[in-house]
Amino acid sequence: MCQLLGMNCNVPTDICFSFEGFCARGGKTDDHKDGWGIAFFEGLGCRIFLDDNPSSSSPIAAFIRQYPIKSMNVIAHIRKATIGAVGLENSHPFRRELWGRYWVFAHNGDLPSLQYDHKGFYRPVGQTDSEQAFCLMLNYIRQQFPDGKPAIAELYAALQSITQKIAQHGIFNYLLSDGEHFFAHCSTKLCYIVRQAPFAAAHLIDEDITVDFQELTTSSDRVAVIATTSLTDNETWTVIKPGELLVFQDGQPLELGS
């Protein structure tokens, strides 16, 4: 299956360190060779890079690893194709506009029995079950709240409802963000870490690289990193429970119920 990487912060932060280890899993330390993508929210804008080549050898990925784009919300994905051919149209993350904001989505898992009738406002461009699920989610919440984005508790309840329905069709680990809130749903495997003061050094699992975050941060910084599996071997990552939908804002999960 694919792998997910996300970041939510209280100040604009670059993801170069985590992305370095994540990229290695796209053909070097793991076999997710069927494309990759990453999206950076910057204000109301969203900078997105996609490639249908392996991330470990992609020149575009090399550029991203070396270019410290700062963002408060980032979603990245490396693909192992199961449904849909290898191609840019099937590379995650996917992006759509809703309520005057960009929404970005990436999925890990298979939804073999999911049916999409192509009658909604949002329609998939590629052939993946992932993009179909994304369109179903946006169509649902657009119908529930036609006048604009509701309070986060209401939006969370609606997303939880459509997520549970889609998850009945298979494995539905996903990351979703509109640049203001960051949603992470675990179906089988997803974890996160919140880095805040006092900061320490972290060492990647997939590359022999260590970064001392104390040298790069201030005492008020807070960064949440979400991934399919932990990216470092000297930090304690929190495993998200199967069936749990978390909402992150300002680098930490919000308390909105289970």
Mind telling me the catalytic residues?
Answer: 2
What tokens appear for 60 in the block?
Answer: 């575009």
Q: How far apart are CA 69 and CA 52, in angstroms?
A: 21
Token pair recorded at residue 215: 């040298």
Question: Could you tell me if 244 and 238 are in contact, meaning their C-beta atoms sit under 8 angstroms apart?
Answer: no
In the sheet that holds 222-227, the strands lie side by side as 45-51, 36-42, 71-78, 3-13, 222-227, 191-196, 238-239
| Pick from 9, 7, 41: nearest CA to 21 | 7
Neighbour-count burial for 57-83, b at 16+ CB within 10 Å, e otherwise: ebeebeebbeeebebbbbbbbbbbbeb
172, 187 Cβ separation under 8 angstroms: yes
Q: How far apart are CA 46 and CA 39, in angstroms?
A: 7
Give the containing element (helix H, strand E) for 222.
strand 222-227
Token pair listed for 30: 């793991």
| 63's tokens | 């550029």
Tokens of 155: 């939006």
